Amino acid sequence: MHSPFVFDLYLNTIKKDPIDAEFEVIESIRQQMLQSRQQLRITDYGAGSKVNVSPIREVRDIAQNSKKSAKLGRLFYRLINRFDYQHIFDLGTSLGLTTLYMAAANPDAHITTFEGCPETAKVAGQNFRRAQEAYRTTKHDIATDIRIITGNLDLSLKSQVEAYSKIDFAFFDANHRYEPTIKYFETCLTKAHENSLFVFDDIHWSTEMEAAWEYIKAHPSVTVTIDLLAVGLVFFRKKQPKQNFILRWGFWQ
The CATH superfamily label for domain 4-246 reads: Vaccinia Virus protein VP39 (3.40.50.150)
pLDDT band at 248 (very low <50, low <70, confident <90, very high): confident
Residue-level pLDDT at 228: 96
Euclidean distance between CA atoms 219 and 240, whole angstroms: 14
Q: What is the pLDDT of residues 5-64, one digit of tens each?
A: 999 999 999 999 988 888 999 999 999 999 999 999 888 765 444 444 568 999 999 998
Strand arrangement of the beta sheet that strand 145-150 belongs to: 145-150, 110-115, 87-91, 169-172, 197-201, 231-235, 224-227, 243-246
Mean pLDDT of 131-154: 95
Judging by beta carbons within 10 Å of its beta carbon (0-12, 13-18, 19+), is residue 120 exposed, middle or buried?
buried
